[in-house]
Structure 1
């Protein structure tokens, strides 16, 4: 941490009094490079690590499922293989829902606030968790739409619905 006073950096040990470095009443000081206590909070770090290691993979899984359904809808495969591929994709899409629900439960169960957590940091941790949960819920909604799209395509393939 550096202190800027009258255009100069203040030098000295932490226990030196301000009067010895010509600091007077009503003088202003600029503090630079202070430690960001909010970034060091254990609960916030836990949320950031969870997002980095788990939720980015969730988005990738959804993107793969979306691409696979789009490829199936193009109809390049023969009908029996399309039906087989559709069943496999339906399992993958439903498994994605289960996986996302597990992530929601894990986030809900995380202890991100302790007795020592300051109020502003506790609020920040809750907001971060809410952001992560909203992201997962958005993916779940998109995945539900993808599942309906796949089920409708499978109904067309099986002859239940005419195109």
Structure 2
């Protein structure tokens, strides 16, 4: 018969000169689950206000990075001591993190606008608009794309101005991801504009032949 998994775990967290008694308790809906590093990280954040991405937990010289690792498999049991290296975000980081969230929200709006433009362009290519109206419709969509591109470039400039501490890996990683996503949309806009220009050139050539 398999041994019953513990529903609670108590250990001591050493953070500089401070010592914290940490108690992990599984919620009723997690009965039967195993304590993992992520559970410890969550409780550490509650006690120290240091987010998981800024935590460096060390047990017997081993750095605990993978949140899915089970604590009992690395020897963490009742009464052990775990060391924490890290500090909570500074007020500046909090402000920058808030700005990062705003940029993310604005990016989502611009991404939606570009999706709508792409959908309308596809409709034009499929002949859903009369030929005599297609040219004006395309020009309007190109203007809208230019506005989206301008907004995206401003978001890149805003991201470039945000400064995060080296330890704030979560925010730094999110910023890089947003930069990459914005670049993808800008490349998409360039591709759409090139395709429209080539089509216009071909139409002009055909009309002049």
Structure 2-normalised TM-score? Answer: 0.54
Asked if 1:138 is matched to 2:190, the reply is: no
Following TM superposition, by how much is the alpha carbon of 1:145 offset from its aligned partner in structure 2, in angstroms?
Answer: 0.8
Aligned to 1:13: none
Contact 2:123 / 2:129 at 8 angstroms: preserved in 1?
Answer: no
Deviations 1:15-59 (A, max 9, x none): xxx9xxxxxxxxxx754323252377413343123213x111011
Aligned to 2:137: 85
* CA spacing shift, 1:161–1:91, aligned 2, 3 Å: farther
Aligned mates of 1:67, 1:138 — CA distance in 2 = 17
What is the total number of aligned residue pairs between the two structures? 133
Contact 2:111 / 2:185 at 8 angstroms: preserved in 1?
Answer: yes
Contact 1:100 / 1:140 at 8 angstroms: preserved in 2?
Answer: yes
Aligned mates of 1:96, 1:160 — CA distance in 2 = 30
Aligned mates of 2:188, 2:115 — CA distance in 1 = 10
Q: Write the mapping of 1:10-25 to structure 2, written as runs, cut at 5 A.
A: none
Aligned to 1:129: 175
Aligned to 1:37: 50
Contact 2:159 / 2:179 at 8 angstroms: preserved in 1?
Answer: yes
Aligned to 2:201: 155
Aligned mates of 1:65, 1:161 — CA distance in 2 = 27
Following TM superposition, by how much is the alpha carbon of 1:6 offset from its aligned partner in structure 2, in angstroms?
Answer: 10
CA RMSD of aligned residues (A): 3.1
Aligned mates of 2:9, 2:50 — CA distance in 1 = 26
Contact 1:97 / 1:140 at 8 angstroms: preserved in 2?
Answer: yes
Following TM superposition, by how much is the alpha carbon of 1:91 offset from its aligned partner in structure 2, in angstroms?
Answer: 1.1
Contact 2:103 / 2:155 at 8 angstroms: preserved in 1?
Answer: no
Following TM superposition, by how much is the alpha carbon of 1:135 offset from its aligned partner in structure 2, in angstroms?
Answer: 0.7
* CA spacing shift, 1:9–1:161, aligned 2, 3 Å: same
Return 5+ residue gaps in structure 2 as ranges: 1-5, 12-18, 25-42, 53-87
* CA spacing shift, 1:85–1:8, aligned 2, 3 Å: closer
